[in-house]
Structure 1
């Protein structure tokens, strides 16, 4: 019990330091009507590898995360969202029977923006490894997302729009970024809550689990 309590406090501190609370984003966007529920991870659900990770240097407060495996084996949702041009899409259509990494992000979330370059590199490498990488904006006012995305000058990674937060509600996450990894059968392997350096050892190990 002491271990569970201590771990819960540790996870809470990690998320507070590294992730963006959706409620803060709602305030920034002027609306709270489409808020997602808080994280559903409890002390009894966390697994041994759910420990904080920090990058060296000045990014310690940004690149921290926990890995949640309590949803392992759950099927990929068939929730609709759209391309930047407004065309309907689903994760299953994008995956096309390949392993898939889904990143939920927002323009107002600093940790989300910080990990975009590493996700871009991962997307480029994924084309060779047979892993699809997608970023789905959770901005409830998505009008500025296209220009914001263009300004990032990302070579491979693409973003989709989910202004109704259909995916955020499905995953029950109140923290951004949140990234979900699926195997080729569309079953969840793990999810990462908080920002991760995907080109680092921890990120590469997680990707190897679905690309292996």
Structure 2
């Protein structure tokens, strides 16, 4: 087995540990994501944002390495992951509340084509989130031990401040305080 194949198999296993893909038509219930913490983790602070390319439903490309200059909250999610689906409206609201101060980028890890992502965005009519996709899971490889959802806050220099693995209440006072503390130094 090649090293790339082995790496891909390991990352795929981490995805499955977070959300069960056995019923892709419906989002899985939260019980499958028990191994994740849902807490702010600062152990990777200082790591650089991966320079991965994302593509949206209109075919536009976003190079994450080129978004420096403003803080970024990067969320990895999938349509088949119940905790991910639950977070999306909260992230949309967060993006609106922090518009101009922080950019919220949600990157779908769905590998089944853009139809599911397009349908999800059409159904939910998000006002502030772009329909970015990472169909080759490059971000999952680059971020390491990623489970879904995973959200990473980067400062304006593209350095990680903290991350959250698993379900998180982005409307909570804890979330807003952690973001405000990070943005205060920008």
| TM-score in terms of structure 2 length | 0.78
For the pair 1:81 / 2:54, whether they are aligned, the reply is yes
1:159 Cα deviation from its structure 2 partner? 2.5
Q: How many Å separate the matches in 2 of 1:168 and 1:60? A: 20
Contact 2:74 2:105 in 1 (8 A): yes
**1:9 corresponding residue in structure 2:** none
What are the Cα deviations for residues 115-139 of structure 1, in whole angstroms up to 9, with x where unaligned? 11111111001114x1000100000
For the pair 1:117 / 2:89, whether they are aligned, the reply is yes
Cα distance change, pair 157–26 in 1 and its aligned pair in 2 (3 A) = same
What are the Cα deviations for residues 2-56 of structure 1, in whole angstroms up to 9, with x where unaligned? xxxxxxxxxxxxxxxxxxx512555556xxxxxxxxxxxxxxxxxxxxxxxxxxx
Q: How many Å separate the matches in 1 of 2:74 and 2:172? A: 18
Q: How many Å separate the matches in 2 of 1:170 and 1:27? A: 25
| TM-score in terms of structure 1 length | 0.69
Contact 2:74 2:104 in 1 (8 A): yes
Q: How many Å separate the matches in 2 of 1:199 and 1:152? A: 18
Match of 1:132 among 103, 127, 144: 103
**Structure 1: gaps of 5 or more residues:** 1-20, 30-58
Q: How does 1:30-49 map to 2 (within 5 A)?
A: none
Q: How many Å separate the matches in 2 of 1:99 and 1:137? A: 20
Contact 2:146 2:165 in 1 (8 A): no
Q: How does 1:14-29 map to 2 (within 5 A)?
A: 22-23=15-16, 27-28=22-23
**1:148 corresponding residue in structure 2:** 120
Cα distance change, pair 60–146 in 1 and its aligned pair in 2 (3 A) = closer
**1:72 corresponding residue in structure 2:** 45
CA RMSD of aligned residues (A): 2.5
Cα distance change, pair 89–206 in 1 and its aligned pair in 2 (3 A) = same
1:64 Cα deviation from its structure 2 partner? 6.2
**2:75 corresponding residue in structure 1:** 103
1:140 Cα deviation from its structure 2 partner? 0.8
Contact 1:81 1:166 in 2 (8 A): no
1:165 Cα deviation from its structure 2 partner? 0.1
1:72 Cα deviation from its structure 2 partner? 0.4
